[in-house]
């Protein structure tokens, strides 16, 4: 277990900046998820922590000890790779024990520890098999076991579930959460899947263009996105972002308005509305947005209603399965003002009403 | 009746027959001389003179014993084994390490180094052998088994690196990174991951190098003149001179030189083909 601190961490390849100015402290036993789209720098950040990439700027420390120049093999970190990276010429037993043999010369101890870990993740009967004779899920568990068996200070996961089918991904997700609870180890997990981030992480660090966009608990980042990027990245469908102008005690969306004090009139901003916070209303004067229904997507438990409000993108409402909406119907939607979010029209940064921006 | 004829000689059947005929002819063309020499090696010269193409009967295995004992074959065989095994072992280790570096690391002048190594194969041995002779004399490696080993390593190294590098480059880099995370040094990773994973390719280079060097003649004849340091191809030449009139004995001498290579090929051909056509490491 360990505290991992990233202080203005950066990575450049020649003139290309892959990661810059990453600051975060991952607490002892914390499960931190690095989330972001492809190419956002999350894997590079993880690889810098692992020691597989040189750190070109800033400082990395584990338990207060500077790690920049410490080689990967001496950092006492275990990593689970997306491709599992099992050694094809070794049996499952040898794969599990490979890292341990490097540190522990007593064969009996290695054997005992491998047996324990294999039993805890259900691999006992596969110990003598080679990786090619295992299913995808079993290989994944071997990769996991290889990390656990060493009892490292920090666990790193680089999109470990992305090669699994949907059903297996759900069960392995739960397995990982259970494992984290049992081991109480510091874990850093990279994914582009927001469901994994929301369900597994104690905290989520959302990255974009090599920078940290926001760090917070899953609900914190979901409910209070720090920027339009975070707002549009999290949630499926994501937050509706509607261009708006402030008035006297209201924010005008162009097709409706919402009561909101704390803004100077005449300011241009972006109004953020989560699809599940919108609600159809008969009263036009209560509508925050209004428009024509352009499509209805029934997902069984819920229905997504696309509404053309005259903007570039439709506003999406997430309603129940029996929502009274029909194609081409004009729908007025209302929203609790407490759930509306505001962003600067130019910078995209979140604004809190009443605070001087 | 006509319909039956058409069925018997369908286009697919004809194509198959033509293919079988081609394969049979090609086999006879390529294996014929070897089978003929093998057959002659078990017959006496008078039997061969009476009927050159007859099957060997009775089998004169005793000819092998007399060829071995009369013609210093044991020394030549021993020299060949020592020189070829040493050269192949060095080639595998040095070639493997070089290929591992070319496949895995990016370093300054990598392209230039690769070019320099490969540029040596464009010069035919006849061009370089005289210069090499001078160098070997100067460094006391002329008429020296170690000298021949070093020459063999240098002539086969480019091809060895080429074959191994192509295979190493296909090993996913995650494997090496996982081993680094498991605490292993680059050196240990080469021995514990690269080499075992690349075993099919290693086998290919071992077999190819063994066969080529076992049969190598030009460098051996130029760089070795003392009889007790000669390799088998040189021994065969001497044997040919000694037994000029005795065709049957010459065939026996040739077989002694060829058999180890044939055995290696027969037992390892599957692995050789596997190595040459191996897909990505899973």
Q: Indicate whether A88 and A191 sit together in one domain.
A: yes
Q: Which residues of B touch A52 (CB under 8 A)?
A: 177, 180-181
Chain A CA closest to residue B186: A73
Higher pLDDT, A255 or B73: A255
The ranges assigned to domains in chain B are 2-41, 65-277
Strand A350-351 and strand A315-320: the pairing is unpaired
Q: Convert the pLDDT of each residue in A133-180 to its tens digit.
A: 999 889 999 999 999 998 899 999 999 998 888 888 898 899 899 999
Sheet holding A350-351, edge to edge: A257-259, A250-252, A240-246, A268-273, A341-344, A350-351
Q: Indicate whether A183 and A299 sit together in one domain.
A: no
CA distance A148 to chain B (A): 11
- Residue A271's domain comprises 239-351
CATH number at residue A260: 2.40.50.140
Query: Which of A228, A250, A274 is at the close of a domain?
Result: A228
Q: Indicate whether A201 and A290 sit together in one domain.
A: no
Q: Which residue among A72, A79, A88 sits closest to B197, beta carbon to beta carbon?
A: A88
CATH topology of domain B65-277: MetI-like fold (1.10.3720)
| Assigned domain for A234 exists | no
| Assigned domain for A233 exists | no
| Structure-token pair, residue B95 | 């070639």
Q: Indicate whether A207 and A73 sit together in one domain.
A: yes
Q: Indicate whether A218 and A289 sit together in one domain.
A: no
| Structure-token pair, residue A56 | 């070109």
Q: Convert the pLDDT of each residue in B114-144 to its tens digit.
A: 999 988 888 888 888 989 999 999 999 999 9
Q: Indicate whether A173 and A318 sit together in one domain.
A: no
Q: Convert the pLDDT of each residue in A280-335 to its tens digit.
A: 999 999 999 999 999 999 999 999 999 999 888 999 999 998 888 899 999 999 99
| Assigned domain for A357 exists | no
Q: Indicate whether A28 and A170 sit together in one domain.
A: yes
ipTM: 0.84
| Assigned domain for A356 exists | no
Query: Which of A193, A228, A263 is at the close of a domain?
Result: A228
CB contacts < 8 A, A to B, total 62
Distance between CA atoms of residues A138 and A126, nearest Å: 9
Q: Indicate whether A60 and A99 sit together in one domain.
A: yes
Q: Which residue among B175, B185, B199 sits closest to A87, beta carbon to beta carbon?
A: B175
| Assigned domain for A18 exists | yes
Higher pLDDT, A276 or B5: A276
| Assigned domain for A203 exists | yes
| Structure-token pair, residue A106 | 């007593």
Q: Indicate whether A179 and A268 sit together in one domain.
A: no
Please give the angle made by the CA atoms of A163, A169 and A172, to the nearest 5 degrees: 115
Q: Which residue among B172, B183, B184 sits closest to A85, beta carbon to beta carbon?
A: B172
Say what the pTM is.
0.81
- The reply to whether A146 touches chain B by the CB within 8 Å rule is yes
Distance between CA atoms of residues A156 and A42, nearest Å: 12
CATH number at residue A32: 3.40.50.300
Query: Which of A183, A199, A228 is at the close of a domain?
Result: A228
Q: Indicate whether A152 and A17 sit together in one domain.
A: yes
Strand A31-35 and strand A154-158: the pairing is unpaired
Q: What is the pLDDT of residue A216?
A: 97
Cα A168 to chain centroid distance, Å, stands at 19
| Nearby residues of B149 by Cβ (< 8 Å), 6 or more positions away | B83, B86, B87, B90
CB-CB under 8 Å, A99 with B182: yes
Distance between CA atoms of residues A149 and A115, nearest Å: 9
Q: How many domains does chain A have?
A: 2
What radius of gyration do chain A's Cα atoms show?
Answer: 24
Distance between CA atoms of residues A333 and A256, nearest Å: 9
Distance between CA atoms of residues A248 and A262, nearest Å: 9
Determine the 3-state secondary structure of B149 from DSSP: helix
Instruction: Please list the pLDDT of chain B residue by residue as tens digits (282 residues).
Output: 444 545 567 888 899 999 999 999 999 999 999 899 999 989 988 888 888 888 888 888 888 888 888 778 888 889 999 999 999 999 999 999 999 999 999 999 999 999 999 888 888 888 889 899 999 999 999 999 999 999 999 999 999 999 999 989 989 999 999 999 999 999 999 999 999 988 888 888 998 899 899 999 999 999 998 888 999 888 888 877 777 778 888 888 888 888 888 888 887 777 666 655 554 344
Q: Indicate whether A42 and A114 sit together in one domain.
A: yes
> With 60 as the cut, is the pLDDT of residue A356 above it?
no
Contact B92, B275 (CB under 8 A): no
- Inter-CA distances, A229 with A111, A277, A344, A345, A350, Å: 49, 19, 12, 12, 10
φ and ψ at residue A261, rounded to 5 degrees: -90, 165
Q: Indicate whether A326 and A257 sit together in one domain.
A: yes
């Amino acid at each position: 277990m360990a505290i991992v601190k990233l202080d203005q961490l950066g990575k450049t390849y020649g003139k290309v900046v892959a990661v810059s100015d990453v600051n975060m402290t991952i607490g002892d036993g914390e499960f931190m998820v690095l989330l972001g789209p492809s190419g956002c720098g999350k894997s590079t950040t993880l690889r810098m922590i692992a020691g597989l990439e040189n750190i070109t700027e800033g400082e990395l420390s584990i338990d207060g000890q500077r790690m920049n120049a410490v080689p990967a093999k001496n950092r006492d970190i275990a990593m689970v790779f997306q491709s599992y990276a099992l050694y094809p010429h070794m049996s499952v037993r040898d794969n599990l024990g490979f890292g341990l043999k490097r540190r522990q010369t007593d064969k009996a101890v290695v054997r005992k520890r491998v047996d324990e870990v294999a039993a805890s993740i259900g691999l006992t009967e596969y110990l003598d098999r080679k990786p090619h004779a295992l299913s995808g899920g079993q290989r994944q568990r071997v990769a996991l076991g290889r990390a656990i068996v060493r009892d490292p200070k920090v666990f790193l996961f680089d999109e470990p579930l992305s090669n699994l089918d949907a059903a297996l991904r759900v069960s392995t997700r739960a397995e990982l959460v259970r494992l984290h609870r049992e081991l109480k180890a510091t874990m850093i997990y990279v994914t582009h899947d927001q469901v994994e981030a929301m369900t597994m992480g104690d905290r989520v660090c959302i990255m974009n263009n090599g920078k940290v966009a926001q760090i917070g608990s899953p609900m914190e980042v979901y409910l209070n996105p720090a920027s339009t990027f975070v707002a549009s990245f999290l949630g499926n469908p994501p937050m509706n972002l509607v261009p708006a102008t402030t008035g006297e005690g209201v924010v005008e969306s162009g097709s409706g308005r919402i009561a909101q004090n704390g803004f100077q009139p005449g300011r241009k901003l972006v109004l953020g509305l989560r699809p599940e916070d919108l609600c159809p209303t008969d009263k036009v004067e209560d509508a925050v947005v209004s428009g024509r229904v352009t499509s209805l997507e029934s997902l069984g438990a819920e229905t997504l209603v696309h509404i053309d409000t005259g903007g570039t993108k439709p506003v999406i409402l997430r309603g129940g399965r029996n929502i009274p909406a029909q194609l081409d119907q004009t729908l007025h939607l209302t929203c609790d003002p407490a759930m509306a979010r505001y962003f600067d029209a130019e910078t995209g940064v979140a604004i809190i009403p009443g605070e001087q921006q | 009746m006509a319909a039956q004829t058409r069925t018997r000689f369908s286009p697919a059947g004809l194509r198959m027959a033509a293919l079988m005929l081609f394969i049979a002819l090609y086999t006879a063309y390529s294996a014929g001389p070897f089978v003929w020499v093998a057959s002659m090696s078990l017959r006496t010269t008078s039997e061969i003179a009476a009927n050159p193409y007859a099957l060997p009967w009775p089998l004169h295995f005793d000819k092998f014993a007399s060829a071995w004992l009369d013609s210093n074959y044991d020394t030549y065989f021993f020299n060949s084994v020592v020189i070829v095994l040493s050269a192949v072992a060095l080639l595998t280790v040095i070639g493997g390490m070089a290929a591992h570096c070319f496949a895995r690391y990016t370093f300054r002048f990598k392209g230039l180094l690769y070019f320099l190594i490969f540029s040596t194969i464009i010069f035919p041995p006849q061009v370089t052998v005289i210069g090499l002779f001078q160098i070997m004399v100067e460094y006391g490696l002329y008429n020296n088994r170690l000298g021949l080993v070093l020459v063999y390593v240098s002539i086969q190294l480019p091809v060895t690196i080429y074959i191994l590098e192509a295979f190493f480059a296909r090993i996913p880099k995650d494997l090496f990174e996982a081993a680094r995370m498991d605490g292993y040094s680059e050196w240990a990773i080469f021995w514990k991951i690269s080499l075992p994973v690349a075993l099919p390719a290693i086998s290919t280079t071992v077999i190819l190098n063994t066969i080529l060097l076992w049969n190598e003649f030009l460098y051996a004849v130029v760089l070795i003149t003392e009889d007790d340091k000669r390799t088998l191809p040189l021994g065969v030449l001497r044997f040919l001179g000694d037994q000029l009139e005795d065709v049957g004995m010459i065939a026996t001498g040739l077989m002694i030189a060829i058999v180890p290579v044939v055995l290696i090929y027969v037992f390892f051909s599957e692995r050789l083909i596997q190595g040459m056509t191996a897909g990505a490491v899973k």
